[in-house]
């Protein structure tokens, strides 16, 4: 990957709405060259899409969970076939192959704790090859996609008197 492409991606990760002109100005390049480079990266699958980072109060799915999944790999396809199958569920927002005790890490979104619990018990656990799961409900966002969220809350520790 060329230096210009890397620099463009760095700027787009921070703000996907930055204009080609602003990118060109920041990188001391020509706007036509920046536009062509972005189009080339989109065409070759280096840029897959653009997304907004949304505040928690604006989220439509109110409950998010991380689910670790231990699986029995398929003899022919390893983890890929099951991982792709699980990723197709509408509740699954993100899916990753990971190292450690569990094999897959899913981010799941829903409207309630019960909705996510039903997904785990009815859909996820019943899949052939799924051996175990561990679910962690996300309580608060501090940083997402490299962006620190919210202002620092003033916090004073309670004083404990003996």
Domain ranges of the chain: 3-43, 56-140
Q: Indicate the pTM of the whole model.
A: 0.75
Class of the domain covering 3-43: mainly alpha
pLDDT in tens, 119-135: 999 999 999 999 999 99
**CATH entry, 56-140, from 3.30.450.20, 3.30.1320.10, 3.30.70.920, 3.40.50.1820:** 3.30.70.920
Residue 97's DSSP bridge partners are: 104
From edge to edge, which strands make up the β-sheet containing 63-71? 92-97, 104-110, 63-71, 130-138
pLDDT in tens, 10-67: 999 888 999 999 999 999 999 999 999 999 999 999 999 998 877 777 777 789 999 9
Contacts 24+ apart (CB under 8 A), 140-148: 140/56, 141/56, 144/53, 145/13, 145/51, 145/53, 146/13, 146/14, 147/14, 147/53
């Amino acid at each position: 990957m060329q230096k210009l492409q890397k620099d463009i991606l760095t700027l787009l990760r921070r703000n996907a709405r930055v204009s080609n002109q602003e990118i060109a100005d920041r990188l001391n390049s020509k706007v036509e060259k920046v536009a062509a480079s972005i189009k080339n990266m989109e065409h070759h699958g280096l840029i897959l899409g653009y997304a907004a980072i949304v505040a928690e109060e604006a989220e439509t799915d109110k409950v998010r969970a991380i689910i670790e999944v231990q699986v029995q790999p398929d003899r022919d396809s390893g983890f890929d076939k099951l991982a792709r199958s699980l990723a197709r569920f509408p509740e699954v927002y993100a899916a990753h192959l990971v190292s450690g005790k569990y094999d897959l890490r899913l981010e799941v979104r829903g409207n309630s704790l019960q909705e996510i619990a039903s997904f785990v018990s009815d859909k996820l656990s019943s899949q052939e090859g799924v051996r175990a799961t561990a679910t962690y409900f996300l309580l608060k966002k501090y940083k997402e996609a490299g962006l620190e969220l919210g202002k620092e809350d003033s916090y004073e520790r309670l004083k404990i008197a003996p």
